[in-house]
Amino acid sequence: MPVSLDIDGEVVDVEASQDDLLLWVLRNALRKNGPKYGCGAAQCGACTVLANGIPIRSCVFPLSALADKKIETLDGLRAPDGGVHALQAAFILEQAAQCGYCSAGVIMTAAALLRANPAPSDQRVRQALDGNLCRCGSHNRVVRAVLRAADMMAGR
Ligand code: FES
Ligand code: FES
């Protein structure tokens, strides 16, 4: 039976069970491949998307837990004018990804942070991203990118 989901600003009906995990529905049914499978246990953050603006680990959330929630993935992330989001631009400028496997989850977590706190400190960025693991060790460049994105969004 189709399940209705609000994904990246569009309501879509997908053939899925309410028990299906959001990550697999996004990747396999909707071909939204930003969120990645890392641990499958809510530990690494590679699968992070936003639900009503809050970062969630899509690898452990069944569709039944997401009724009426607005889901945002990297695919839907845009600047207010519809262009490239400052976080994506800053990640390129700071070369903040190596393999990029963690990047979508990091960027979505950072997007939620910058909406709540447009001018975070270095420490606050590190706290927010504490649960997003990067096996390539690009944490410091990621933090610089998030701070740079905050500056860009503020016109600095
Ligand atoms: S794959 Fe979901 S938190 Fe690691
Ligand atoms: S850039 Fe490779 S895991 Fe983070």
Q: What is the CATH number of the domain that holds 126?
A: 1.10.150.120
Find the domain containing 19 and state its range.
2-76
Same domain, 11 and 53: yes
Ligand 2 pocket, residue 133 CB under 6 Å: no
Task: Tell me if the pTM is above 0.85.
Answer: yes
Same domain, 103 and 37: no
Q: What is the pLDDT, as a whole number, of residue 93?
A: 98
**Range 41-58 burial, b when 16+ CB lie within 10 A, else e:** eeebbbbbbbbeeebbbb
Between CA 132 and CA 88 the distance in angstroms is 17
DSSP secondary-structure letter at 75?
A: G
Same domain, 39 and 67: yes
Ligand 2 pocket, residue 97 CB under 6 Å: yes
The CA 60 to ligand 1 mean position distance, Å, reads 8
* Ligand at shortest distance from the CA of 133: 2
Q: Which residues in the chain show pLDDT less than 70?
A: none
* Ligand at shortest distance from the CA of 98: 2
Domain count, the chain: 2
Residue 72 in domain: yes
Same domain, 109 and 58: no
Ligand 1-lining residues (CB < 6 angstroms) = 37-40, 42-47, 57, 59
Same domain, 58 and 119: no
CB 73 within 8 A of CB 34: yes
Residue 109 in domain: yes
Same domain, 90 and 36: no
The residue to mutate among 27, 36, 44, having the most atoms of ligand 1 within 8 angstroms of its beta carbon, is 44
Q: What is the pLDDT of residues 81-123, one digit of tens each?
A: 999 999 999 999 999 999 999 999 999 999 999 999 999 999 9
The CA 35 to ligand 1 mean position distance, Å, reads 9
CB 36 within 8 A of CB 58: no
Q: What is the pLDDT, as a whole number, of residue 156?
A: 87
Residue 81 in domain: no
